Every structure is written in C-alpha cells, then in structure tokens.
Chain A
Amino acid sequence: MELKSKLNWKTFRTTQIQISGIENAALKKEAKVLKLSINEIKQNRRINNLWFAFIILILLLVSAGLLWYLYHQKQKLRVTNLKSKISRDLHDDIGASLSSIHIFGDLATSVWDTKPQQSKEMVNKITMQSKDLMERMSDIVWSLKPPGDEQNSLTIKFRNFSHDFLAARGIKTLFDIDEKLAAIIENPLVRTNLLLIAKEAMNNIAKYSGADQVVISLRKEKEEVIFSITDNGKGFDRPLTNNGNGLHNIEQRCSQLKGSCLINTFPGKGVTIICRFPVAIISHTD
C-alpha cells in the first residue's frame, strides 16, 4: 500500500514535471511569438514611417517645383511687361522726335525757294534734333546692357558725363559709388533714370552753380538706395526759381523710381539733390 502510494506520487511528480516542461516550452514559444509579433509591428511601423517620410518628401519636392515654376512665370511676365514698356516708350518718345525731324524736312523743302533763311533754320533743327536723338538712343542701348560689365557700369557713364559737362568747365568731380550696389542695378528703367538725373544735375551745375567741386554718391541704407549729387556752388532760393532748369524733371524721374527727391539749397551754400528709392526696384523688372 505504501509502495503503491510512493509509485503514484512518483508518477504524479513525473507527470507534473512533464506538464511543467510542456508549459515552459509553450510559454517560451508564446514569448517568441510575442517577440516576433512585436518585431513585425515595429517593422510595419518603420515601413509606415518611411512611407510617410517619402510622401512628405514628394510633397515638399512638388511644392518647391510649383513655387519655382510660379516664380519663373512671374519673372517671365515681368520681363515681358518691361520689354513692352520699353518698346512703347521708345516708339512714343523716339517716334515723336523722328516725326519732328520728318516735319522739319518737309517744311524746309516746301519753303526752300521762298523762305531760304527759314529753311536753313529748319535744317539746323534737323541737325540738332538728330544729334540729340543719337545720344538718347545710345543711353537707351546702354541701359539695356548687363550692369556687371565694367564698360557698362554707372560709374564709367557718370565719369564720361562729368568729363563732358563739368571737367570742361574746370569743375572737379568726386565719386563715392558703392560699386557692388551699382553692379546689381539691372532694371533698365532705374539705370536710365539715374543716368538722366545725373545728366540733368550736371547740366544745371555747369550752367548755373559756379561750383568748383561736385560729389556724386550712390549707396544703400536699409531698404533704400540713396543717390545724391552735391555741389559747392552759389545755391539758389527755391521758391524764386522756376522749374525750367530741370529740377522738376529730376523730381519726376525719382517718382518714376517709386521714390522721393529732396533738393536742399540755400543761397551761397551749394545744392544737394538726394533721390531715395526702394532697393526692391533695382532688380525688379516691373
């Protein structure tokens, strides 16, 4: 009886150990399965993350492409508008002068025999107007050239003018030009207006100022370009001066640059013309 009981206990223990072994094995397998599932979930998440990153990248690329396309379309439109404005201005301005030469030519021919003195005056007008026209054409062509090339630079052009207008009258010109700034002024309308402002101012100085020194300055302050021309001449009383000497034209040209013009002068104190306009306009072609 006791032996039987011992045998049963042994069998029971053996069975228990076997069951425990099977349970352990099952648990291990379960843990392995769980681990595998976790790994699978992790891998899936990684793949999802990769997809997400890929989609974001594609969206970014598409957006960048779209922005680039829109920017270039806008630039194209600006260039087209600029070309259209230049050709219209050329046709209007140069065309008007050519029509004038034509009219004088017709008139001179019609009164050649009856009014020889008047026809001679008209031929002189044709000569002067065509000379003026050639200078204007040359300025227009210069304004369309790339600003970075030295021979097309604003400084060279200003130097040429100062040589013609001022040096010939013994007036010394000092240049304080920010060359880096001048080299990026590519908008032909800005180049033309700066040139004509300088021309107008130098012409006034040569004719009326009695100065012996002029300073021409071009610099940038914050978001503005400041172009100034200062002389040490006799100055004038602005309210007493009519606009016939080109000051009005200078103010007009500054407003064409979306800027402002300040003319500081007092009798005996010289004249300073300060034109300010936004930096944004120098490369914009609108």
Chain B
Amino acid sequence: MIRVAVYDDNKHRRESLQAFISLSSELKHAGSFENCANILQDVAATFPDIILMDIEMPVVNGLQGVKLVKKQYPHIKIIMQTAFDDDDKIFAALQAGAEGYILKQLPLFKLPKALMKL
C-alpha cells in the first residue's frame, strides 16, 4: 500500500481526498494538513511515500514545501494539485523536484494507478 499525505488549505478538498484515498485498495491515507508550516515534522510523523501538494496555501505554500521535503527526503514523490494548468508555479515546483501535477477539476479515478507507476 502506498502511503499518501495531502496538503491543501481547502478543508472540503482535504476531506474528499482523504475519503478517496481511504476507499482505494492501493492507497493508504497518511495524513492531511492545511499548509506546509510544519511539513518536515509532519513527514517525520506520517512517513508518506507520496504527497499530494496544493500550490497556494497560507503561511508556507506548496512550492516552499516541495523544496523543504526534497532537500531532506528526496525519495518522497510529490504530485502538485492545481486549478490552473498554465500556472508558472507548477513549472517552478517541477523544477524544484516535484514528479508531476494533477488538475483539481479532473476526476480522480485514474489517480491510484498513476501513483503506483511513480
């Protein structure tokens, strides 16, 4: 089972992603967090294999989160979540080491298989 952590400032999105991950036979929910303010402690406590990372979050955003995690835990895969496919920040996140991105408005049913291939 792949352990997945979710970073998103939208409470609704965190709840639905948690439900989705929990119901998937291939994935296990490692934890959900509203921003990256304590990301290194979060990761140390929850041992995720993959992080689903929002970009725009208050206090410490997703881009800063990618840099922090990749510096200390380069083996953890990070998938950015975005509402905009033309966002410069996605490319910045990919440059910082994120493995890919998903659009929030697209259905998630293919996500578990895609995550398994990472």
B13 touches A97 (CB 8 A): yes
Known A-B contacts A100-B10, A100-B15, A252-B58; the reply to A111 vs B108 at CB < 8 A is no
Which residues of B approach A to under 8 Å, CB–CB?
8, 10, 12-13, 15-17, 19-20, 23, 54, 56, 58-59, 83-84, 104-105, 107-109
In the complex, A105→B10 CA distance in Å?
18
A-side interface residues, number (CB < 8 Å): 26
User: With A97-B13, A103-B108, A129-B12 known to touch, is A122 a contact of B19 (CB < 8 Å)?
Assistant: yes
Q: Is A102 an interface residue (CB 8 A)?
A: yes
Q: Which residue of B lies closest to A96 (CB)?
A: B10
Instruction: Tell yes or no: A41 within 8 A of B by CB.
Output: no
Q: Which B residues lie within 8 Å of A23 (CB)?
A: none
Beyond known contacts A91-B84, A96-B54: 5 more, CB 8 A cutoff: A97-B12, A99-B13, A99-B105, A100-B17, A129-B15
Verify if A40 is at the interface (C-beta below 8 Å from B). Answer: no
Please, could you name 30 A-B residue pairs with CB atoms under 8 Å apart, sorted by A? A91-B83, A92-B83, A92-B84, A93-B10, A95-B105, A96-B8, A96-B12, A96-B83, A96-B104, A97-B10, A97-B12, A98-B105, A99-B16, A99-B104, A100-B12, A100-B13, A100-B15, A100-B16, A100-B17, A102-B107, A103-B17, A103-B20, A106-B108, A107-B16, A107-B20, A111-B23, A115-B23, A118-B23, A125-B15, A129-B15
On chain B, the residues within 8 Å of A92 by CB distance are 56, 83-84
SS of A interface (majority):
helix
CA distance A96 to B13 in the complex (A): 6
- Interface of B, helix, strand, loop or mixed by DSSP: loop
Q: Which residues of B contact A106 (CB under 8 A)?
A: 107-109
Q: How far is the CB of B42 from chain A (nearest CB, A)?
A: 15
| Partner-B contacts on A (CB < 8 A) | 88, 91-93, 95-104, 106-107, 110-111, 115, 118, 122, 125, 129, 132-133, 252
Residue in A closest to B58 when the chains form the complex, CB atoms: A252
- Please give me the 6 A-B residue pairs with the lowest Cβ-Cβ distance, nearest first: A100-B12, A100-B16, A96-B10, A103-B16, A96-B13, A97-B12
Given contacts A92-B56, A111-B23, A252-B58, contact A101 B107 (CB under 8 A): no
Which B residues are in CB contact (< 8 Å) with A133?
Answer: 12
Return A85 CB to nearest CB of chain B, in Å. Answer: 12
Q: Given the complex of chains A and B, what is the CA–CA distance between A261 and B51 in angstroms?
A: 33
Q: Chain B's nearest CB lies how many Å from the CB of A243?
A: 10
A58 CA to B12 CA, complexed, in Å: 61
A95 lies within 8 A of B16 (CB) = no
Q: Which residues of A contact B20 (CB under 8 A)?
A: 103, 107
Q: How many whole Å from B51's CB to the nearest CB in chain A?
A: 17
A16 to chain B, nearest CB (A): 105
Residue of A nearest to B14 (CB): A100
Minimum CB distance partner of A133 in chain B:
B12
| B-chain residues with CB within 8 Å of residue A101 when the two chains form the complex | 12, 16
